[in-house]
């Protein structure tokens, strides 16, 4: 009986340690932070999290002059007319690249973003997001990479 318990213990330990190796490692990316900040400024409840008070305060103070930016107004309208929020926002963010400006990643399938995004809204969003990025002179720390 003791032998069986030892074998089961080691088997479970081996399985548990193997499973830990395959965990997804979270990291901060410039595009997800940029999009999150924009939706926060637009008042999207799911992006207005003040659990990290210092970070929230820094974001709010730095971006206060941009609350009336055309991007923020566009996002507010977009949320009302298309229900874009939560996962739809991040489905767009992960499909963006920032290389001197904001653009869609190359060779993307049209199904890689949430269906709530129309092609017209995608193009306008990226245009305005790029303008916001340049206007606000954002420098996002890459410490999470």
Is residue 111 pLDDT above 90, yes or no?
Answer: no
Identify the weakest region by mean pLDDT among 5-19, 32-46, 73-87, 94-108.
5-19
Residue 1 in domain: no
| 121: helix, strand or coil | helix
Question: What's this model's pTM, rounded to 2 decimal places?
Answer: 0.77
Give the range among 89-98, 115-124, 134-143 with minimum mean pLDDT: 134-143
Inside any domain, residue 48: yes
Is the CA virtual torsion 57, 69, 120, 103 positive or negative? Answer: negative
Total domains in the fold of the chain: 1
Hey, what are 62's tokens?
A: 């730095």
Name the more confident of 102 and 108. Answer: 102
Residue 46 sits at φ, ψ, to 5 deg, of -70, -10
Domain ranges, residue 132: 26-136
- Is 116 within the bounds of a domain? yes
Other Cβ atoms less than 10 A from the Cβ of 131: the count is 15
96 in a structural domain: yes
Quick one: pLDDT at residue 145? Answer: 41
């Amino acid at each position: 009986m003791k032998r069986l318990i030892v074998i089961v213990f080691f088997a479970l330990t081996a399985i548990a340690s193997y499973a830990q190796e395959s965990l997804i490692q979270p990291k901060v990316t410039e595009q997800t932070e940029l999009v999150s900040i924009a939706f926060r400024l637009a008042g999207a409840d799911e992006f207005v999290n003040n659990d990290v008070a210092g970070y929230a305060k820094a974001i709010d103070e730095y971006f206060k002059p941009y609350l009336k930016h055309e991007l923020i107004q566009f996002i507010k309208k977009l949320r009302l007319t298309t229900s874009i929020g939560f996962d739809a926002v991040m489905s767009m963010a992960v499909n963006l690249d920032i290389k001197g400006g904001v653009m869609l990643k190359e060779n993307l399938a049209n199904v890689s973003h949430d269906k709530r995004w129309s092609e017209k809204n995608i193009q306008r969003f990226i245009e305005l997001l790029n303008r916001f990025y340049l206007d606000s002179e954002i420098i996002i720390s890459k410490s999470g990479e």
